[in-house]
A and B are shown apart, each in its own frame.
Chain A
Amino acid sequence: MSKLLEISDLKITFESGFGKVDAVRGVNLAMDMGDAIAVVGASGSGKTVLGRSLLGLVDAPGIVRGSIKFGGTEIVGKPEKDLRDIRGLGIGMVFQDALDGLNPVYSIGSQLSEIFMVRLGMSHSASKARAIEIMEQVGIRRAAERYHNYPHQFSGGMRQRICIAMAIGMKPKILIADEPTTALDVTVQAGILRLIKTLQSETGMGLIFVTHDLAVARMVSTRIVVMYAGQIVEEGPTEEVFRFPKHPYTKALLAAHPARVRSWRDLEPIPEAFVTDASSGGEAPGHSSPSIVVTN
């Protein structure tokens, strides 16, 4: 039987006036229902663009090559109108900045119920009921009242809950969460992470959680994929990666994490050669031809 998601030799390249950037360089990954994979990497490692490619969201001048099969259907090269069936319904996505995902001039309720009317063909009253139900499911109190509120009337954490509601409302088989808590405070973060875990175990969907923080990855995942310079450098069951990291980059990430040491003196800064968010680029020792040039 084919896997729910199967990525083979995925390559994503951006070409611009400044040259060519290989953002993803030959990634293989497979997952089934119920899997919780954390994709861990620093800025510029290619983790975000990898997530976006699963929904066909890599815009020009990005070029995607290789294969992404969702339930046996090839996503790479699929025309825009056919991707619509996969986006949201098959694979849902939650982004880092919750405000970007919401329209400031429409009420939360109308934005949520619109999805159910347009995408699932539900009636006006049924979609309103469903919207309130899903708001309650993601932990928004007095949902029937707050249905009429606008995005600015919600805190950052509550907005992210609404974005999660939008994504899971269509019961996707896979949820991609791209740094969904990076912009939030620790206390709020903990609530969102718990919510995502609960929803996953209730629905049995697959989860791809993109983050730069190993501690967060450990909380939500059963399997960790460490990305560096567009490639997967290490992959394994979460606890195993934490206990017996194999790749030097994973070891460096762990040694640099403040929660792993007793004193700041024991922190081991990640070697500059591993830092890829500089215009100078970077490359894992032992690999040839550094081709990553990421400017931001």
Chain B
Amino acid sequence: MAPSSIIQLNDVSFSYAGEKDARALDHVSLDIAPGEFVGVLGPSGAGKSTLAAALSGAIPHHFRGQLFGAVIVDGQDTCDVTLTDVSRVVGSVNQDIDAQMVASVVEDELLFGLENFGVPHGEIESRLTTSLEAVGIPELREREIATLSGGQKQKVAIAAMLALRPRVLVLDEPTAALDPASTTMVFETLRALNEREGITVVVIEQKVATLSEYCGRILVLDQGRLAFDGTPREVFSHGAELRAMGVDSPRVARVSNSLAQHGLIAPGEPCLTVAEAKRLVAGLVGGVASASPRGEKNPVPEPSSRPRAAQGEPVVSFRSVGFTYPSTGAEVRDLTFDVYPGEVVGVIGQNGAGKTTLTKLLNGILHPDSGEVRVAGLDTRETPTSRLAAHVSTLFQNPDRQICKDTVLDEVAFGLELTGVEGREARRRASTVIEHFGLPAGEAPFSLSRGQRQMVALASVVVMEPDVVLLDEPTSGLDYRECMTVMETVAEMAERGCAVAMVCHDMEVVSDFAERVIVMARGEIVGRGTAAEVFSDAALMARAGVEPPQVVALSAALAEDVSPAFAGIAQVSGIVDLVEEMVRRD
């Protein structure tokens, strides 16, 4: 083997025990050199987690199945050494943070590995302090892990690995449950470790914009095969192929790819940052725009295709709602807003801003301490939560918390039966919806994949035909294709007059689907307006700790320096159409 690579996969295939015909990895070969920062992308079920397990030695030592080919870590075949020996080289951080903590206090969490690997006791103190400092959390040393936020826990997990001085870090979706600010924090930490300590980083991630910013190399897996392997620019120049397999591209890459498709620029490597895209567009239209500063293009975003029923009765109304958690003292104050039938309202803000509390006040799990919440004309304080359920349906972030029946059919019909729909009728309606989603009606929900379980949960929401749909992080843990299925279903429901309120960290999704946005920070509503208005308000975004979507940032930058016509454009196609119009005009 080449001495230059720290990890080498030679024609590796793997199938899990009991699934002989389906290969989770299919003839994968790759070399990773020391010091690389590698991102792994792919749709659900493409074999990303299997790849991580193979790199960290969990395959073949923990998961049963058939392995072909060889995984060579630091010159040794992982089949020939124990899992513990592989772990001396490769530190791995998994998706479920709670499940990899072995102690209840941060310090003990770090000590566990150090003690086990027999690090000399004289050296332990310095290892403890340096690894806590490396991830920027020396002040958390004595804290109980249970009291930390998700981002902090993730850093503890990384510090616990660092203390062991691994040469490779393998992370499986480390930021799936984190807000954008914490995601950036984790990736900054990884970058610092990669650059300063020369640690090789392999990270599986769905957030394409983040990956393209931090990684030097991106691997794309599809159905167990390595579909693409190259720099972010090389990989994202295949935008159309990626999309066909269910992988998103950063929006600015979509802008430049789309410009190339329209024949406005030569096809080639796409832009990866807002600044690059701005330079590209400015170069294309620069002369035109300065020669004829046009004001005729309407900067107001196109009116929604849906009837805005602002003059009608709101189906959800919050009036000066306040609530304080008795145990922690966390609170929300003075929430006042309405949601009308047929509209999609996004609620954004950082973790801890009070978004989840707002959803629980809406579906009646919490009752306001002050003020009033009315849903479909019912006061939530006077109506039992179980009766409100006929009017409000919630799609939870984690489908496993709501699934409790033995078959998909029973599961989908369950909600209807609870609200008093007669059994046979409930099953008939459930079957229709299940057919629409193409789900296996007779199977046990827990035997399905994570993405399909989310679809079962979604089907149970759709079948209710509720007045209000409440979405709590509807897209987390889903790949691009599943995410679009969920959101398009929700948009169809809105089309039919259902009011939708969604809490979401993915600003691209909010920008694409929400007509109105409510911005929360520290328990209060700090801003509201149309998606375009809110995202282009830089001061508001900073105050809420939210990064605006790339396209909005791009159009704001272009509006300022190139042409005011770009103001308020929120879609890739909008920017491309405008550029085309401006260029063709000459």
**Pair from one complex:** no
Show the binding face of B for A, using Cβ within 8 Å: none
Show the binding face of A for B, using Cβ within 8 Å: none
